[in-house]
Amino acid sequence: MLTQQQLQARVEYISREFFHLPFTDRAVYNNRLRRAAGRFLPATMSLDFSVKLFAGYTEAQRDDVIKHELTHYHLYRMHRGYKHGDADFKALLARVGGTRFAPAPPASDHEFYYVYQCQRCGQKYPRRRRFNTNRYVCSKCRGHLVGVAVVSAAQLQAEGLIG
Ligand SMILES: [Zn+2]
Ligand SMILES: [Zn+2]
């Protein structure tokens, strides 16, 4: 885990090395950022990063997220297309090798899911809470669901059933 000061230094370093441009604003941890790994705020020109997600990332994953946010930042400063759908954004992100989406943090072995399965098409539904199978049907084929297992989050992630 990087300290706040190390985070700022890392963002400045990646900006110089990969974008050949200085990062002259603030990179800060944001406690409230939980689903997104990072965020660029044009109003303040600051880059926010999720404490929770960064704590579980490898160095390479952190760098990827930093590159993604710096891509928004530098394109905005250059008055170019800085949003996800813009061609400028896609091209610069590919050039610096950043990720399109935030990497999923490693799943915990202590976290469990209830796995339900459709009896007709076999589709699996991992859920954090139990639910009444009489009240829900498969969203693909409307078949009947049954509870089949309690599985750790790490195993579900390995099978690609959760992000
Ligand atoms: Zn983004
Ligand atoms: Zn089904």
From the CA of 99, which ligand is nearest? 1
* Distance (Å, whole) CA 115 – CA 111: 13
Residue 59 known to be catalytic: no
Q: How far is the CA of 132 from the centre of ligand 2 (A)?
A: 16
Q: How far is the CA of 143 from the centre of ligand 1 (A)?
A: 37
Do residues 12 and 21 lie in contact, with contact meaning Cβ atoms separated by under 8 Å?
no
DSSP 103: P
Q: Is the pTM of this model over 0.95?
A: no
Q: Which of 23-37, 70-84, 123-137, 141-155 has the highest mean pLDDT?
A: 70-84
The answer on pLDDT for 106 being more than 70 is no
Q: What tokens were used for 44?
A: 């303040």
For residues 109 and 90, which has the higher predicted lDDT (pLDDT)?
90
Confidence of residue 116 (pLDDT cuts 50, 70, 90): very high
From the CA of 41, which ligand is nearest? 1
From the CA of 76, which ligand is nearest? 1
Q: Tell me the per-residue pLDDT of 52-90, one tens digit each, with 9 for 90 and over.
A: 888 888 898 899 999 999 999 999 999 999 999 999 999
Length of the chain: 163
Q: How far is the CA of 124 from the centre of ligand 2 (A)?
A: 9
> In this structure, which amino acid lies at residue 94?
A
